[in-house]
Amino acid sequence: MRRARRSKVDAFIVMDVMEAARRAEEAGRRIIHMEVGQPGTPAPAGARAALAAAMEAGALGYTVALGLPELRARIARHYGEWYGVDLDPARVVITPGSSGAFILAFTALFDAGERVGIGAPGYPSYRQILRALDLVPVDIETSAENRLQPVPGDLADRDLAGLLVASPGNPSGTMLDRDRLAALIGATQQAGGQFISDEIYHGLHYEARAVSALEITDDCYVINSFSKYFSMTGWRI
């Protein structure tokens, strides 16, 4: 069977490890899961109760295209409460999982063949989604000196249409402070690129909270999720 060139992406090895771990658990072994970003706590009691009530109240059908207006407004309010950002709910789009958000963002912002910078090491699926969309992922090798995060000088002479940054990072967990994040955003914009901020791990920190790109500029694209901080990895909206 013929397959499109875009289908030739590497496997997400984490899923293979998860399957091996599942089989081991079924065989009676106790497994400590360090292969996937899966919280050890259940979803909040309020979310579980609200879902149960909604299921009893009637059918859960299609929503409007951008997501429930009430949910979009509440997410905008969340960014105000956490970051002091006045976010217009009209700018909030709901997707069934953050992977869907990456696909939408990449297709909306970049044309086929354009180059998008991602820090290395980083989340492997960034690279595979970009390739599947006929975009060119450009690994930016990071260093311990820079806390495994890109720095403005890394963008020189790379001809990037955009830069994707995660803070806290995956798998490093390191964060960019306000000045470093602002410098990266400025360098990306000065080069004519689009800045995408992966804020999925916000709320999971030991010291100072993570800085949202929206605290620095409105000219950015933020992706967040209920999966990590709210322990809702298996849920879909």
Q: Does the residue 195 lie in any domain? A: yes
Give me the domain span that covers residue 178. Answer: 70-223
Q: Percent of the chain at pLDDT above 70? A: 100
CATH number of the domain at 198, please: 3.40.640.10
CA distance 34 to 197: 24
Q: Does the residue 105 lie in any domain? A: yes
223 φ, ψ (degrees, to nearest 5): -120, 125
Residue whose C-alpha is closest to residue 216's, from 173, 187, 237? 187
116 φ, ψ (degrees, to nearest 5): -125, 125
Q: Does the residue 116 lie in any domain? A: yes
Q: Does the residue 44 lie in any domain? A: no
For residue 162, pLDDT over 80 is answered with: yes
Q: What is the pLDDT of residues 54-76, one digit of tens each?
A: 889 987 888 899 999 999 999 99
What separation, in Å, do the N-terminal and C-terminal C-alpha atoms of the chain show? 34
- How many structural domains comprise the chain? 1
State the average pLDDT over residues 121-129.
Answer: 93
| pLDDT confidence of residue 211 | 98
| In the block, residue with structure tokens 């409460």 | 81
More confident residue, 34 or 141: 141
Q: Does the residue 182 lie in any domain? A: yes
Q: Percent of the chain at pLDDT above 90? A: 78
The pLDDT confidence band at residue 38, using thresholds 50, 70 and 90, is confident
Q: Does the residue 177 lie in any domain? A: yes
* Angstrom distances, CA of residue 72 to CA of 52, 76, 94, 132, 186: 21, 6, 7, 29, 28
Length of the chain: 237
